[in-house]
């Protein structure tokens, strides 16, 4: 049972019982139920709803006005439903530092995980396909990190039947809390108008979830950018949280057989990471499909074609895996290596695009750049390459159908590189629809909107 935490305790009103013009904030927490009455959980604590905050409601014409800013000169999708907007906070996990190979996982896992013996060095569990002889697969199980709180924007259409879930991960915005995507519409930043994108789908009848990445929302934390397992947990725990809300009588349910994970750029990396790690982290979840808008899933390719984000990755991976395993010194030129932490934390993605060079040859040291472009990282920088491969998700045989939308003039990932990923994804057993949009750049969300609706409609 969900309870209002302000005023007299009583069951929360459903949004349809509240005037759509009411702007009061409702803080809702899970009631404390005696432990003896609770079933033994089949999983860890990831995905537990911690707080739900009602924000406002949008009539269809209001939704169309918001969405219209994103679509510009393109036809604005018709909104069919009144939408209720919330902030939801749910539990997940930070990655633990992986400096020492083979350390046992520490806290927060399931009983089965705590009881399981640590695998011998070099072995890994299902879903850790890129694991290697360093043995850090065991470090990255569900219990392998401190508990985190994910903040997400939740949009719910007022309709009677269960709704499909459209969980969207945004593109890279930065490492620090000031760069969290949920600030975008509040302070008038234009990183990608991500709220408008999700509202376009919610207006068609989807429940929409737009999470901030792990680390956002806490001033002393950095986003573990492009760390595949952190992204996977954030996505899968979001699915769990929406399902938990819908399991009660107070909240409209989502359809568990129509869960769609989508993402733009880094968000595509996150969506494919979730598919890859679902089996061992959240096997109860069924993913109906993945939508990738210019997804950047391959780390060596990203370093070659969009090196602007590489300093953030070098900083984060150096902390997670250790400076001895993912060192900045052999990769970044001296001027870009000096004061690395200050430069990647003092600005968001727009500032980094102006500060760092767009040419990999200007950012990286000559030896590293030669190996990167010559595809010799595995031979010349084996540990760096191994970690990059561990965080290049999607190609473990997960069998989830995917729709990849690519712009012909994309300056972040080239069509040739995307097509190689599509081919590898098909070889791994996934059914993939691939569309190349002539004249489109990196953002294919608007040009492909109708195609995505059509593809989703054909999945179930």
Cα–Cα distance between 239 and 166 in angstroms, integer? Answer: 9
Q: Is residue 195 part of a domain?
A: yes
Cα distances (angstroms) measured from residue 353 to each of 26, 42, 174, 185, 395: 39, 44, 11, 21, 29
Any alpha helices (H) in 322-365, and if so which ranges?
334-337, 340-345, 349-355, 360-363
Q: Are residues 162 and 281 in the same domain?
A: yes
Strands 402-407 and 289-293: parallel
pTM score of the predicted model? 0.83
pLDDT in tens, the chain (460 residues): 333 332 222 333 344 444 333 333 333 333 333 333 333 334 578 999 999 999 999 999 999 999 999 999 999 999 999 999 999 999 999 987 654 443 333 323 332 332 232 222 223 233 333 333 233 443 344 445 689 999 999 999 999 899 999 999 999 999 999 999 999 888 888 889 999 999 999 999 999 999 999 999 988 899 999 999 999 999 999 999 999 999 887 788 899 999 999 999 999 999 999 999 999 999 999 999 999 999 999 999 999 999 999 999 999 999 999 999 999 999 999 999 999 999 999 999 999 999 999 999 999 999 999 999 999 999 999 999 999 999 999 888 899 999 999 999 999 999 999 999 999 999 999 999 999 999 999 999 999 999 999 999 987 6
How many domains are there within the chain?
2
Residues 339 and 448 in one domain: no
pLDDT at 128: 35
**Residue (of 230, 295, 284, 298) closest to 261 by Cα position:** 295
Residue from 227, 204, 287, 249 nearest 93 by CA: 227
d(CA 384, CA 295): 22
| Residue 223 covered by a domain | yes
In a domain, 337, yes or no: yes
Collapsing DSSP states into helix, strand and coil, what is residue 167?
strand
State residue 98's pLDDT score.
55
Cα 252 from Cα 4, distance rounded (Å): 17
* Helix, strand, or coil (residue 41): coil
Give domain status of residue 400, yes or no. yes
Could you count the other beta carbons within 10 Å of the beta carbon of residue 329? 12
Direct distance between the N- and C-terminal alpha carbons of the chain, in angstroms, rounded to an integer: 31
Residue 135 lies in a domain: no
CA 167 to CA 273: how far, in whole Å?
14
Do residues 440 and 326 both lie within one domain?
no
Do 175 and 65 belong to one domain?
yes
The CATH number that applies at residue 413 is: 3.40.50.1820
Token couple for 356: 């760092």
- Do 364 and 218 have their domain in common? no
Q: From the CB of residue 451, how many other CB atoms can be counted at a distance below 10 Å?
A: 16
Q: Indicate which CATH number applies to the domain containing 339.
A: 1.10.260
356 lies in some domain: yes
**Residue 169 phi, psi dihedral angles, 5° rounding:** -105, 130
Distance of CA 35 to the CA centre of its chain: 32
What are the backbone angles phi and psi of residue 87, rounded to the nearest 5°?
-110, 130
The label of the residue with tokens 């006005």 reads 65
**390, 421, 439 - which closes a domain:** 390
Task: Give the domain-ending residue among 359, 390, 421.
Answer: 390
Compute the chain's Rg from CA coordinates.
22
* DSSP strand pairing (83-93 vs 147-157): antiparallel
- Same-domain status, 356 and 422: no
181 and 282 housed in the same domain = yes
Which pLDDT belongs to residue 96? Answer: 76
Residue 133 lies in a domain: no
- Residue range of the domain that includes 370: 300-390
Identify whether residues 431 and 362 lie together within a single domain: no
Decide if 113 is inside a domain: no
Q: Same domain, yes or no, for 413 and 281?
A: yes
Q: If you search the block for the tokens 């969009």, which residue do you land on?
A: 306
Which of 351, 366, 390 represents a domain boundary (last residue)?
390
Q: Is there a single domain that holds both residue 160 and residue 184?
A: yes
What is the crossing angle of helices 60-71 and 194-202, to 10°?
A: 130
Q: Three-class SS of residue 289?
A: strand
The answer to whether 318 and 429 have CB atoms below 8 angstroms apart is no
275 and 252 in a common domain:
yes
How confident is the model at residue 345, as a pLDDT?
A: 95
Same domain, 315 and 400: no
């Amino acid at each position: 049972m969900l309870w209002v935490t302000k005023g007299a305790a009583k069951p929360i009103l459903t949004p349809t019982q509240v005037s759509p013009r009411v702007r009061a904030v409702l803080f809702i927490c899970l009631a404390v139920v005696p432990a003896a009455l609770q079933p033994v959980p089949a999983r860890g604590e990831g995905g537990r709803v911690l707080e739900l905050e009602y924000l406002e409601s949008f009539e269809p014409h209001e939704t169309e006005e918001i969405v219209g800013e994103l679509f510009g000169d393109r036809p604005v999708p018709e909104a069919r439903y009144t939408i209720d907007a919330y902030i939801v906070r749910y539990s997940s996990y930070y990655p633990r530092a992986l400096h020492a190979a083979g350390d046992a996982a520490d806290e927060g896992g399931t009983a089965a995980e705590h009881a399981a013996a640590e695998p011998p060095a070099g072995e890994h569990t299902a879903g850790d396909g890129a694991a290697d002889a360093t043995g850090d697969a065991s470090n990255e199980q569900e219990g392998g990190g401190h508990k985190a709180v994910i903040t997400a924007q939740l949009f719910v259409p007022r309709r009677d039947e269960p709704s499909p879930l459209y969980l969207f991960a945004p593109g890279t915005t930065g490492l620090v809390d000031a760069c969290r995507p949920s600030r975008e519409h509040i302070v008038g930043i234009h990183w990608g108008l991500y709220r408008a994108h999700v509202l376009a789908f919610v207006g068609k009848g989807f429940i929409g979830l737009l999470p901030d990445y792990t680390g956002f929302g806490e001033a002393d934390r950095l986003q573990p950018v492009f760390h595949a397992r952190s992204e996977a947990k954030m996505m899968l725990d979001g699915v769990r949280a929406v399902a938990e809300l819908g399991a009660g009588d107070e909240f409209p349910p989502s359809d568990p057989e129509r869960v769609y994970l989508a993402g733009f750029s880094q968000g595509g990396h996150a969506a494919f990471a979730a598919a890859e790690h679902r089996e061992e982290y959240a096997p109860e979840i069924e993913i109906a499909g993945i939508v990738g808008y210019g997804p950047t899933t391959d780390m060596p390719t990203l370093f070659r074609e969009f090196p602007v984000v590489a300093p953030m990755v070098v900083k984060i991976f150096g902390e997670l895996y250790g400076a001895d395993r993912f060192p900045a010194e052999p990769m970044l030129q001296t001027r870009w290596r000096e004061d690395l932490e200050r430069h990647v934390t003092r600005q968001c993605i727009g500032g980094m695009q102006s500060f760092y060079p767009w040419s990999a040859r200007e950012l990286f040291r000559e030896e590293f750049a030669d190996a990167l472009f010559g595809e010799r990282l595995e031979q010349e920088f084996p540990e760096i390459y191994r970690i990059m491969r561990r965080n290049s998700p999607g190609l473990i045989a997960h069998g989830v159908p995917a729709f990849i939308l690519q712009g012909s003039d994309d300056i972040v990932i080239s069509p040739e590189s995307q097509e190689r990923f599509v081919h590898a994804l098909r070889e791994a057993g996934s059914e993939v629809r691939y569309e190349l949009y002539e004249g489109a750049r990196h953002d294919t969300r608007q040009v492909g909107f109708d195609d995505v609706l059509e593809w989703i409609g054909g999945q179930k």
